[in-house]
Amino acid sequence: MSDSEKLLDTIPRALYFDNEDRFFILDQTKLPTDEMIEEQKDVEQVYDSIYQLKVRGAPAIGIAGAYGLVISLKNSLDLEIESFLELVYKNAQYLNSSRPTAVNLSWALNRLSKIAQDFPKDKTAKELYDVLKHEAILIHKSDIETCRLIGEHGAKLIREGDGVLTLCNAGALATGGIGTALAPMYVAWSKGKRFSAYSSETRPLLQGARITCWELNKFGVDTTVIADSVSSYLMKLGRVDMIVVGADRVANNGDTANKIGTSSLAINAKFYGVPFYIACPYSTIDTNSKSGTDIVVEERGKDELIYIKGQQIAPKNIKVCNPAFDVTDNSLISGFITEKGVIRPPYNFSK
Q: How far is the CB of 52 from ligand MRU (least distance, A)?
A: 11
Contact (CB, 8 A) for 107 and 283: yes
Q: Which is nearer to ligand MRU, 87 or 341 (CB)?
A: 341
SS3 41: coil
Q: Taking Cα atoms as reference points, which of 334, 343, 241 lies closest to residue 284?
A: 343
Catalytic site residue 222?
no
Q: Looking at 162, 248, 255, 326, which residue is catalytic?
A: 248
Q: How far is the CB of 134 from ligand MRU (least distance, A)?
A: 24
* Bridge pairing between strands 311-312 and 307-308: antiparallel
Q: Which is nearer to ligand MRU, 163 or 176 (CB)?
A: 176
Q: Which is nearer to ligand MRU, 232 or 284 (CB)?
A: 284
List contacts with ligand MRU (CB under 6 A).
Answer: 53, 56-59, 102, 168, 170, 174-175, 180, 207, 245-248, 258-259, 324
Q: How far is the CB of 120 from ligand MRU (least distance, A)?
A: 36
Q: Which is nearer to ligand MRU, 59 or 254 (CB)?
A: 59
Q: What are phi and psi of 143, to 5 degrees?
A: -65, -35
Contact (CB, 8 A) for 202 and 126: no
Q: What are phi and psi of 226, to 5 degrees?
A: -130, 150
Among all residues, whose Cβ is closest to ligand MRU? Answer: 246
Radius of gyration of the chain (CA): 20
Q: How far is the CB of 160 from ligand MRU (least distance, A)?
A: 25
The four Cα atoms 167, 302, 322, 294 give a dihedral, to 10 degrees, of 120
Residue 166's DSSP bridge partners are 199
Residues catalogued as catalytic: 248
